[in-house]
Amino acid sequence: MSKQIASVQRWKIVTLSSSVSILATIGLLLALSGCASKQVRSYYADDYLQATERWQGTDNQAVINQGIQQFSDTLGDFTQSELRSKVERLYADQLYFNDTFKTFTNLSELAHYLEETGENVTSSQVRLLSHTIDGQDVYIRWLMDFAFSASGKDIQSRSLGMTHVRFNEQGEIILHQDFWDSTDGFFSHLPIVGGVVHRIRNKL
């Protein structure tokens, strides 16, 4: 009987510990994203597909080529002092933007978000590797290096990704969808969350 009681007690401790870890992870993710739970979107793929129907871009090659250059100049370094003003010139007032973390549909909120991102990293470099133009659709392949601190730990993150963009006739971005492994590029480096990510991966 004493062995059974001890077994039950151990099970309760493990269950409680797991629940605390899960809750801590969820809380940390929400805190890091700076948003309330009601703002978390679970179906960004559906939003993206709907956005591709709504936001029709230009196929003017000259406008697109200039837009790609401006994209590189603006997002190549998030720590640059003029980032916000460049973002406000690069993106249209109304748009669809998703970086796998958050979705924005107006320029003011997007500019604040990107500016805040720059303030929270110690260094950043986004290097464009190649791009493909298919009518109005532009696919940009990039390499991103970020350095930031979390819980007193200095973190170096390197990621590969691709962005689908569309420009309007004025050369402003009206659709921006990132495709990258944010789990490996960001979450796996974080205290607590990173350990959970690695344990899940090891079980796959």
Mind listing the pLDDT tens digit for each residue in 16-57? 333 434 444 444 444 444 544 455 555 778 999 999 999 999
- Predicted confidence band at 148 (pLDDT cuts at 50, 70, 90)? confident
Q: Is 83 helix (H, G, I), strand (E, B) or coil?
A: helix
Query: Can you read off the two tokens belonging to residue 7?
Result: 């077994």
Tell me what percent of the residues of the chain surpass a pLDDT of 90.
56
Predicted confidence band of residue 4 (pLDDT cuts 50, 70, 90)? very low
Provide mean pLDDT across the span 76-86. 96
Cβ neighbours around 36 below 10 Å, total: 8
pTM: 0.71
Q: Scanning the structure block, which residue is given the tokens 């350095």?
A: 147
